[in-house]
C-alpha cells in the first residue's frame, strides 16, 4: 500500500479539460474521509516519461486517459496481469517499490454491462481500434463473446485487436470505417470507443432495436449515436456508467493497492460518486 504521505492524485490526458474524473474521485475521497487532492493535468505521450520521473513522494497515483494508456507501459516497474493481457494501463500506483500499472477499464465495462442487465454476449461490433477498444474487447470476452466486428478508420491500427482476439479465443473481423457487415448479422452489442461527436456511422433500425449500445463517450451527451438508439427505444449504456465503474476500481487501488478489495461502505462511496455527476 502507498505511503500515508502520498496525498496527490491526478488524471492525465489530452484533451483533459472535459474530464469528470476530478469530480467523482474527489467525492469518493470525501466519503472515505481521506484528505487527498485529485486534479486534471494536460499531458502528451512525449512529455509523460519526464513527468513520471519527477513525481515526488507526495504523489499517490495517476489515472490515464487517451492517448496515454499505451505510452505508460515502458515506464512501469510492475504490471497487473490485465495490463499485459490488454496491452494498456489506465491506472498508476506510486509506491516505495516503484511504479505499478493496472487496468480498470475491463472490470468497469463488465460491471456496466451487468448493471444494465446484460449478463452474457455472443457477437459484438466495436467502433474504434485504440486502447479502450482493446479493453472493451476483453470485457466482451469476459461476458462470453465469441466473435467481434471492428470498424476502424485506419484498419492498419486494428492489427493489435486481431492479435488480441487470437490470444483471447475470439474471432475478430476488421472492416474499414463505414463498410457494412454483409452478413446482416445483428450483434448483441454495439460498442463505440470513439470520442464524443466523432461518430458518424448510421445503423439500421433493426440493429438499434435489438442491440444494446455501449457508448463510452460522455462529452457531449447524449451523442448522436445514443440519440439514434433512443429514437427506436433501444437500450443504451453511457460513458457515465463506464466512468464510474472503472473509477471505483481506481479508488480501490489508490486506497489499498488491490483492485479486488472492496472499499469501506462501498455502496455509499459509489452513491457519492454518482451524485457528483449531477
Catalytic residue ranges: 69
The number of C-alpha atoms within 13 Å of 241 and in the hemisphere containing its C-beta is: 19
Where does the chain show beta strands of DSSP type E? 8-13, 37-42, 59-64, 78-79, 91-95, 98-102, 123-127, 147-152, 171-176, 189-192, 212-215, 236-237
Contact 66, 11 (CB under 8 A): no
Burial class (CB within 10 angstroms; exposed 0-12, middle 13-18, buried 19+) of 133: buried
Burial class (CB within 10 angstroms; exposed 0-12, middle 13-18, buried 19+) of 200: exposed
d(CA 199, CA 252): 33
d(CA 108, CA 96): 27
Reported as type and span, the H/E element at residue 137 is helix 131-142
Grid cell 512525449 — which residue? 46
The number of C-alpha atoms within 13 Å of 242 and in the hemisphere containing its C-beta is: 26
Burial class (CB within 10 angstroms; exposed 0-12, middle 13-18, buried 19+) of 72: buried
The three-class DSSP label of residue 237 is strand
Amino acid at each position: 500500500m502507498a505511503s500515508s504521505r502520498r496525498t496527490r492524485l491526478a488524471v492525465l490526458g489530452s484533451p483533459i479539460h472535459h474530464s469528470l474524473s476530478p469530480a467523482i474521485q474527489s467525492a469518493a475521497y470525501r466519503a472515505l474521509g481521506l484528505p487527498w487532492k485529485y486534479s486534471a493535468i494536460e499531458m502528451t505521450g512525449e512529455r509523460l516519461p519526464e513527468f513520471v520521473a519527477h513525481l515526488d513522494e507526495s504523489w499517490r497515483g495517476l489515472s490515464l486517459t487517451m492517448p496515454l494508456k499505451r505510452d505508460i507501459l515502458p515506464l512501469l516497474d510492475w504490471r497487473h496481469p490485465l495490463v499485459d493481457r490488454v496491452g494498456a494501463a489506465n491506472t498508476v500506483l506510486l509506491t516505495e517499490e516503484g511504479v505499478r500499472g493496472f487496468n480498470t477499464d475491463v472490470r468497469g465495462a463488465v460491471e456496466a454491462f451487468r448493471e444494465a442487465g446484460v449478463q452474457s454476449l455472443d457477437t459484438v461490433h466495436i467502433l474504434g481500434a485504440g486502447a479502450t477498444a482493446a479493453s472493451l474487447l476483453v470485457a466482451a470476452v469476459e461476458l462470453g463473446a465469441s466473435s467481434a466486428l471492428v470498424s476502424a478508420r485506419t484498419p492498419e491500427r486494428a492489427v493489435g485487436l486481431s492479435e488480441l482476439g487470437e490470444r483471447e479465443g475470439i474471432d475478430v473481423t476488421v472492416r474499414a470505417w463505414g463498410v457494412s457487415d454483409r452478413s446482416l448479422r445483428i450483434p448483441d452489442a454495439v460498442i463505440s470507443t470513439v470520442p464524443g461527436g466523432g461518430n458518424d456511422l448510421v445503423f439500421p433500425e433493426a440493429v438499434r432495436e435489438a442491440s444494446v449500445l455501449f457508448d463510452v463517450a460522455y462529452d457531449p451527451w447524449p451523442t448522436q449515436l445514443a440519440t439514434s438508439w433512443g429514437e427506436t427505444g433501444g437500450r443504451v449504456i453511457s460513458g457515465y456508467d463506464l466512468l464510474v465503474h472503472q473509477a471505483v476500481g481506481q479508488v480501490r487501488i489508490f486506497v489499498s493497492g488491490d483492485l479486488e478489495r472492496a472499499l469501506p461502505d462501498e455502496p455509499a462511496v459509489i452513491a457519492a460518486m454518482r451524485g457528483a455527476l449531477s
